C-alpha cells in the first residue's frame, strides 16, 4: 500500500511538473505574440498623431506634406476610380471642397488653400496613373485638386485597408475622426470638418 502511495505521489509530481512546463511555455508564446502585435501595424486610432505623408501633385512634380497643413482641420480622403462607392462619393467631396475653397487661392505647390476658414480637403487617389485620374475627373467634372499616391505609401501610412476611407485631422495634427466607407451628403462632410 505504501508503494502504491509513493507511485501516485511520483505520478502526481510528474503531471504537475509537465503542467508547469506547459504553462511556462504558453506564457512565453503569449508574451512573444503581444510583442509582435505591438510591432505589427494595425488600425490607426482616433487621437493618435496623423502620420507624416508627402503626396504628389500630378503634373507639377511638387509634393504636399501633411505637416504643412498643421493649424487647419484637414479631411484626408483616399479613393480610386475603380471603387464604386468612391465614384458616388467624390462628387459630394468636390462640392464640399467648393464650399471650403470658396475664395481660395492656389499655393506654390498647386494645391488650394482655404481662405480664412482653416479647413482643407486632400483627395488622394490611390495607385492610379495621372492619365487615369485626369480621365476620371474630366468625365465626372471633378474640379477640386487631386493628389496622387501611386505607390500606396500614404494609404499604407494611414493603414487604409478598403476604399473609400477618410480621416479628419485636427489643427494640432491628431486624427479626430475615422470614416470608413462613403459620405452620403455634402452636409455630412461639412459636419465632419466642422467637428474636426
Strand pairing of 119-126 and 73-79? parallel
> What is the residue whose three cell numbers read 495607385?
127
For 54-195, CATH gives: 3.40.30.10
Q: What is the pTM of this model?
A: 0.72
* SS3 label, residue 48: coil
User: Cell for 118?
Assistant: 482653416
Which pLDDT does position 103 carry in this prediction? Answer: 43
> Who contacts 64 (Cβ-Cβ below 8 Å, separation ≥6)?
54, 55, 57, 109, 111, 122, 147
CA angle 6, 7, 8 (to 5 degrees): 90
Q: What is the pLDDT of residues 98-110, one digit of tens each?
A: 988 774 434 433 4
* Domain residue ranges in the chain: 1-40, 54-195
What are 112-137's pLDDT values in tens digits? 434 447 999 999 999 999 899 999 99
- Which parts of the chain sit beneath pLDDT 50? 1, 27-40, 103-116
Instruction: Tell me the three cell numbers of residue 134.
Output: 485626369
**What are the cell numbers at 158?**
494611414
Predicted local distance difference test score (pLDDT) of residue 24 = 55
Q: What is the pLDDT of residue 18?
A: 63
Distance of CA 2 to the CA centre of its chain: 69
C-alpha cell read off for 97: 471642397
Amino acid at each position: 500500500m505504501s508503494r502504491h502511495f509513493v507511485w501516485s505521489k511520483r505520478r502526481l509530481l510528474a503531471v504537475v511538473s509537465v503542467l508547469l512546463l506547459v504553462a511556462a511555455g504558453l506564457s512565453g508564446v503569449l508574451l512573444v505574440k503581444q510583442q509582435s502585435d505591438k510591432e505589427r501595424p494595425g488600425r490607426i486610432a482616433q487621437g493618435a498623431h496623423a502620420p507624416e505623408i508627402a503626396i504628389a501633385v500630378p503634373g507639377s512634380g511638387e509634393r504636399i506634406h501633411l505637416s504643412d497643413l498643421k493649424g487647419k482641420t484637414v479631411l484626408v480622403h483616399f479613393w480610386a476610380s475603380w471603387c464604386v462607392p468612391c465614384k458616388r462619393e467624390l462628387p459630394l467631396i468636390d462640392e464640399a471642397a467648393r464650399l471650403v475653397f470658396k475664395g481660395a487661392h492656389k499655393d506654390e505647390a498647386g494645391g488650394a488653400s482655404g481662405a480664412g476658414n482653416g479647413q482643407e480637403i486632400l483627395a488622394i487617389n490611390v495607385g492610379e496613373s495621372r492619365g487615369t485620374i485626369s480621365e476620371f475627373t474630366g468625365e465626372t467634372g471633378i474640379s477640386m485638386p487631386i493628389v496622387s499616391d501611386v505607390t500606396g505609401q500614404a494609404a499604407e501610412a494611414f493603414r487604409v485597408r478598403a476604399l473609400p476611407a477618410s480621416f479628419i485631422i485636427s489643427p494640432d495634427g491628431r486624427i479626430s475622426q475615422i470614416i470608413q466607407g462613403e459620405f452620403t451628403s455634402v452636409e455630412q462632410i461639412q459636419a465632419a470638418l466642422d467637428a474636426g
